[in-house]
Structure formats: C-alpha cells, structure tokens
Chains A and B, each alone.
Chain A
Amino acid sequence: MPNTIEQEILKQFKVDKNRDLLVPDREFLLANITPAVKAAKKELEVHGLEFSGLANWQKAQTFPEKAKGFLVKVFQGLELGMIDELNVPYQLRVSSLRPIHKHLDKESSNSIEVKLMFMGGSTRNTNLMTIGEIAQEALGNGTKVIVMCGASLIDGGKKFTNHNAQKEINRIIADCASKNQKVFIIAANMGQRSFSIPGLGVVYLCYDRGQEGATRQKLSRVLTADTLDKVGRIVSCSFDPNRDDKIDAEIFATADHIAERKGLPWAEALKYVLSTNSNIYKFSDNGAILMDADEYIKNTIDQRRAHRQIGAMVNINKFDDQTLAEWVNADSDYSKNDPTGTTPAGETWDPNKPKAPKKPKNAKPGELTKEQKDARSKARASIITFLENFHYIKESTDTTSVKEMLNEIRNSKEDQEWLYEYYGISIGTIDRSLLSGGLNYKHLEIALNI
C-alpha cells in the first residue's frame, strides 16, 4: 500500500538524488601507537637509562615531562615518518597529507599541510602547553606547532578563546602558508564546535575511549569547510587498536537505523553498513590494511565492545526510580578480556600514596549530580552484563524467541530464583524496563543474535 505521507510530501517537494552525493567522504584510520613506546624504550636503554612505561594516553597527558621520550617518538613517527607503523603517508601510499580533492586545482595543490591533534578532554592546559613544547622540539622549524587552549598566548599577546580560535588559527595558517611552513594544532577541548578550517586534512585522536558526543564533534572537524569532493582523514592513535571503540557507537547506531528503514535483521544491517562504507583501515608495518566487515564484527564481539554499544542504546532515563535502583544493585561484574598486544606498563605514581579527598561538586542546573551519574553508569554496567550473558537464558530455557524465553521465566519460580541468583535482577525488573520503553525486545534480540 502506498504511504500517503510519502505521497503528501512528494506532492510539494521533489527528491534530488544528486544531493546525496554532496557529503564529503571519510577515512577512519586505526594507528597502533605501541611502536612509539618501544622506540622510546630502546633509545633510553642505549643511554643506560631505565624505561618506565606509560601505557595509556591519560598517563602520558597527566605527566608529559615523564612521557617526553614517548611523545617525541609519536610526533616524529606521525609527522616525520620515523616509525613505519605511524607514518601516515607511507601507510596510505600517498605523497602528502594535504586535503585530498578528487579534482585538485592550483590553490589546493599549493596549500600547506594542516593537522589537528586532539588530546584527552581532561588534559590540563599546563600539560597541553608542555606537550606543545615537546612537539615543537620534535618537529623543528618546518612546522608551526600551535597549542589551542586558554593558557596559550597568540603570538605572545591575547589568549585563545572558543570565540577567537577559528579566526586566529586561520590567520596563523595564512601566515605559515606564506612561509611554506606546515601547521600542527594541539587541543583538548577547544575547537570541538564551530571550528572550521578549510585546509584541515587530518585529525588525530589521541585519547582512550572518550565521550561519544565529544568524539563525534572532534572527528567532524575534518569534514566541514571544504570542497564537495573532499575526503577527510581521521587517525585514531591507540595503544590497543583492537579495543579502539571510538566509532563503534556511530556504526551501531547506523546499523540500528538501517535495520529499521530497510527491514533487515540487525546483524545483517551491521554487515551492510560496514561493507557499504569500507573506509576503516588498520595500520600495519606493511601499510594500511582495509578492515572487512567480518573482521570488525568479530573484534567488537571478542573485545566485548558490541554489548557495550547495545547497552548504550538502552534509554535508562525512561526507567522509574525503583527499576533504576534494581539495575544499580544488579550484577555488573563481568569478566573483561585480557588486552591483546598491549604495551608494557610501568608505575607512574605511588599506588600507596593516599589520594586527596575529592570536593563534592554541585551539578549545574539541568545536569545530573555526581551520585546520579554514578548510579546511571552502574545501572548501565549491569545492563551490559545482562545483555552479554543473555544467551545463557536461551540455553537454560531451551526456547528460541526472546518472548518465549521471558515467558518461561515468568511461569517458573525456579527459573526466577536462578535469574536473580545469576544476574542479581528479578523478572519484574526486566518487565518494568520493557514496559518503560527504555529497554525493548529489539535490544534483547540483538544481544542474542549478534
């Protein structure tokens, strides 16, 4: 039956398929940062010094002076091509990292390389300044390093602000272009929104995990303000690329929408999205390798990232207080996989040193208090645990559909006791969650069938 609303819209508006082609393409590149750690370690050993590993970004960004050897190798690897696994032009077999335009014109080919490196959102301004100094030292005078944060002075004068960042950076780029100097911008939070730099070709993401919304904003910087045929490149620098989940949320949300729009089974929709957009590359010592859909899906399941994303789809804001409290008290202690291919870790602070008590923070109006946020994360963790282990219910009830599985539990006191013992929740909690609409059968089906 023809959709009358479709017809109503088409009576007044026309669809132009060519508009679909205006969206700039995007490449997501997964770089393994561990060779920089190994290189730093090797160099220290040559000088008879002991290496104390810094096996995650947070540590490196909290103690940049201590991580100087590592950071120097990162900058030299990414920008000067001194480490094959981080040498982006080598990985992609391209001569430069200027923005790609399928129809290069004179102005584009004469433009300089402009890159933006985002550190973790919690990096302090003073540490960001130190990282900037390290970068300038490592990259030399051929590159102008700009630290874009509130502590950074523009040409020794006024400070950067969200308001003036775009204008000032554009001015500096124009100045550097006249000197044929590359531009390397380092930021943590500034420049996430309304920051449009036409010549920006690459965004480096140098943090572990990070908030989904902030990551989405950061990686959008490379997509805006350029030509119709631009390809934006995002390089996610990770200590363990197999566990890099920065675009998981976007991929899973897209699969969810496509499943609904096309009426596809969810797992098929996920595969469809990944195979249609084959633009995720993994760096290797022999150049970037295109990740295929099966490999990506296998990784997300092996690393338990898949269920974290399904858990994130559950809208816990729809739960009533009682249901939320029950999920908070449910079992969230799921076993984590051993990280694969990780970097040797070292102590960066004394674990026995007592931590300073944290001052209680008042939430801003309209925002959740710390306690509320903690409760929600605990509830979310329990939901993820439940979804991860949901297949056991299928096995123990010997049923095929989610509805049948839950019905069987509803009808058996013994099963209900087992459920509570195993997951720390009652069938009532599940029913109320389903009734609220925050959790729905689709989430359970996906968890079961992925």
Chain B
Amino acid sequence: MNTLDNVVHLKGPVWAIDDQTAQLVKQCQEKKLPASYSLWQGRDRDWGLILETKDGQAKTGNIISRAKARAGESLSRVIIVDVIIDDFFATDHNDDKINHWRHDNEPGVKHVKKEKDVRTMELMRYKSITEFNELVIRRREALRQITEDPFAGAVDCFLGTSQFEYAVKAVTLYKGGSRKILADLCARFGKTIWSAVIAKLLDVDVIIVSAYVKTVFASFASDLIKYKQFLDFVHIDAGKDGYEEKIKKAIKAGKKVIVYVSLCPGRNRNDKIKFLGELKCSKFWIVDEADYGAHRPKQVKPLKEAVKNDYLLVMTGTNADRAINSWDETFDLIGITYLELLTQKQETKKELENA
C-alpha cells in the first residue's frame, strides 16, 4: 500500500494499486460479484498526499464504472486501493455500515459527512500515513466484526507458475535440512505471497517479518489478509504496545502468529528481536528488502543472535551479495530473473493457445 511501483492501469482514469487488486477488480467485473471498494485520489493540486479515500460498494461488480463516476471531471486519475468481494455488499447501503463502524471503533479514521463537496457518505479521512497504510487490514477487520464471520471478504489465493515452482524449491531445501536461504527475486515476482506460502508449508508457530522500513506491518499484512489460505494467521505489529502479551496469548491458543518488526533503530528494537528469538516454539524469520539497510551489521547482529537455528529467508531484489555480507554464514540460494518470468509468460501463452 505504501508504494506505487506496481500500479496497473485499468481503464480511462481508473488504476489499481497492484496486480492483486487489478485481479480482484477483474474478477468482480467478469462474474458480477458484489464488492466494496476504496478509491484514492493520490495527490492534491499542490502535490501533497491526500489521506482520504472514497469507499463505496458495487452490488453487481461494476467497480470501474462506479470509480469513473466518483472520479469526477476535475481529476485525472483515481487508484483503487482495495476491493473486498463478499455477498454482504449485495444489500444496499451496507458499505455505510462498514464506514460507520470504522468511525466509531477505529482510532485515527473519520467518516466525513456534511462537508463542502462531499455529496455522499463515502469519504473516509485518515489522521496519518500509518492509519492510511493499514486501510486494507482495517476494512476487513470491520467487515469481519460486523458480520461476525472470520472468513468474510477473503478470496482464494492463486499462484503463478514461477511462484509455485520456486515455493516447491524453497520448501524442498528447508525440509532437506537447509536453515538459511537467500532469495534474489526480480520485480513482479510476487514475493510477499510466495514467502507466505513457504511459511504455511513449514507449519511453524511464529513467522517474523522484518525490514528496514517502519511500514513493514502495513505493506506485508495488507497482502495476506485478503486470502482464505492465510486467515489462520494472527497478525501482530511489534511496533505497537502490548505485542508481547498478544503473541503469548495467540501461541497459547494454538494460533499461527505472524509478527512484524521494523529494523529501523529505536530504543526497544533489539529487545523486541531478543524477545522473539527467545520464544519457545518453531519460528520462520523473513528479512524483506534485505539489501536496503537490513544488511548492515547493526541490524544483522541482533537478528543473527535471535535466529540461531530457526528457518531464515533473506529476500532481496538486487545486490544479493551485499544482503548477506554481514551474516557470515552459508546460505542456499534461490534466484529468479525478470527474463525468467518473460520466458514463463511465453511458455504459458503457447500452452493456453494449444489448450
């Protein structure tokens, strides 16, 4: 949610924030599925970030035409940042219920009514970038609370051929005794889902996702929370108070826990990592964007002390050598190039043509 690297043009002024969201839009349009959407305008006229979304519902899956209508003539572009497919949205005004619930229950989010230029009930305003980045997670949480259905809004997770083949390779390595894997993954591979598939197959109690950015929780959890296959994960942000208790409680309840910890220096960072390392259960550590800040000894040292003999996946898009320089240990290597994705694309095209 915090990057525009993968935005996808859908039609006219309407864009999707990434491939996954584009696929959800496509699914709604083709199968006429009831859905709720969240639109983001991007920047204001002075190129300041707009921390607002226009949230609505499309009873018959016609998200694009509704998004176009909402965009208005004054805007050149709207970006669909979230789509939730669920029968709940087949009933008129149920989107309002979500917005009301969020206004009443969520900190830092306001349902804006009766303001100049706001014609309907759709505008949600966020206090800061933190709340804004978490909107995908928060909207689903609202739906699940209102419907009292823990599976509400979740769809099946589909893998691309390369994601599947490399997941097989990684799991084979781990199950064959490997503990540390360096994954050099190109753009557009879909590493978040891929790493979560591996986590699922390793069947560990706790997954720890770390990166040298403060928004690690929002960027990773937003992807996973959409899919049925990852609904058994309890997402816990180690950047928030009380994370230790939440983790212990979830483990005690036999849940799979996924903890997000920022590697940016802070007073308690090393303590957090130490606490996670000392948890008496099976663990899988994922270091994301490992060549960006996370490769320096100051970050690697506490991680290395905590990881010990747990499963470790160091993911990077470039500078794979640099990513593991400070680890001073042997890693198994998994690499995929953009050219390989293109090769797969050609093979699949042929296969589909011949089918």
Contacts and interface: CB of A to CB of B under 8 A. Distances in A.
Interface in B162-219: 162-165, 167-168, 171-172, 175, 186-188, 190, 197, 200-201
Contact of B43 (A6, A167, A276): A167
B58 interface: no
B343 A5 contact: no
Given A23-B341, A23-B345, A228-B22, A223 B187 contact: yes
Contacts of B47: 167-168, 170-171
A180 to B, nearest CB: 15
Contacts of B241: none
Interface stretch (A11-19, A86-94, A291-299, A341-349): A11-19
Interface in B219-261: 229
B319 interface: yes
Nearest to A256: B335
Interface string A218-258: 00100111111000000000000000000100110110011
B339 A9 contact: no
Interface string A375-403: 00000000000000000000000000000
Give the most central of B156, B292, B319: most A CB within 10 Å.
B319
Given A13-B164, A20-B161, A107 B12 contact: yes
B4 A14 contact: no
Contact of A3 (B168, B200, B295): B168
A81 B73 CA distance: 37
Contacts, number: 181
B203 to A, nearest CB: 10
Contacts of B338: 23, 26, 216, 220, 223, 250
A317 B292 CA distance: 20
A16 B19 contact: no
A122 interface: no
B3 A194 contact: yes
B165 A261 contact: yes
B147 interface: no
A290 interface: no
Nearest to A260: B169
Given A19-B160, A22-B19, A277 B318 contact: no
Contact of B339 (A170, A198, A251, A364): A251
A30 B22 CA distance: 33
Interface string B290-333: 00100111101000000000000000011101100110001001
Task: Give the contact-size bracket for chain B.
Answer: 35 or more
Interface string A14-39: 11111111111110000000000000
Interface stretch (B81-89, B116-124, B273-281, B346-354): B346-354
A333 interface: no
Contacts of A217: 317-318
A220 B295 CA distance: 22
A21 B348 contact: yes
A13 B171 CA distance: 14
A216 B291 CA distance: 14
A26 B165 contact: no
A438 B157 CA distance: 37
Contact of B158 (A16, A194, A251, A279): A16
A20 B160 CA distance: 6
Interface stretch (A41-49, A124-132, A320-328, A365-373): A365-373
Contact of A20 (B292, B298, B326, B344): B344
Contacts of A5: 168, 171-172, 175, 201
Contacts of B345: 20-21, 23, 25
B145 interface: no
Contacts of A66: none
A384 to B, nearest CB: 17
Contacts of A105: 11-12
B157 A13 contact: yes
Contact of A17 (B161, B321, B322): B161
Contacts of A16: 158-160
Nearest to B348: A20
B6 A224 contact: yes
B91 interface: no
B50 interface: no
A9 B168 contact: yes
Interface in A68-117: 101, 105-108
A298 to B, nearest CB: 19
A163 B47 CA distance: 14
Given A15-B161, A250-B337, A365-B298, A6 B168 contact: yes
Contacts of B92: none
Contact of A367 (B13, B322, B340, B344): B322
Contacts of A8: 171, 201
Give the most central of A23, A166, A217, A272: most B CB within 10 Å.
A23
Nearest to A108: B9
A225 B160 contact: no
A214 B291 CA distance: 12
B268 interface: no
A196 B4 contact: yes
A415 to B, nearest CB: 32
Given A23-B188, A366-B326, A227 B335 contact: no
Contacts of B15: 198
Given A101-B9, A315-B333, 15 more contacts: A5-B201, A13-B197, A17-B161, A19-B159, A22-B188, A24-B188, A198-B9, A220-B338, A223-B338, A227-B9, A253-B337, A317-B325, A365-B326, A366-B295, A366-B296
Interface of A: 3, 5-6, 8-9, 12-26, 101, 105-108, 166-168, 170-171, 174, 193-194, 196, 198, 213-214, 216-217, 220, 223-228, 247, 250-251, 253-254, 257-258, 261, 272-273, 276-277, 279, 315, 317-318, 364-368, 437
14 contacts: A5-B171, A5-B175, A15-B158, A19-B163, A20-B162, A20-B347, A23-B188, A107-B12, A166-B4, A216-B338, A272-B343, A277-B342, A279-B342, A365-B296
Interface of B: 3-9, 11-13, 15, 19, 22-23, 43, 47, 76, 156-165, 167-168, 171-172, 175, 186-188, 190, 197, 200-201, 229, 292, 295-298, 300, 317-319, 321-322, 325-326, 330, 333, 335-349, 351-352
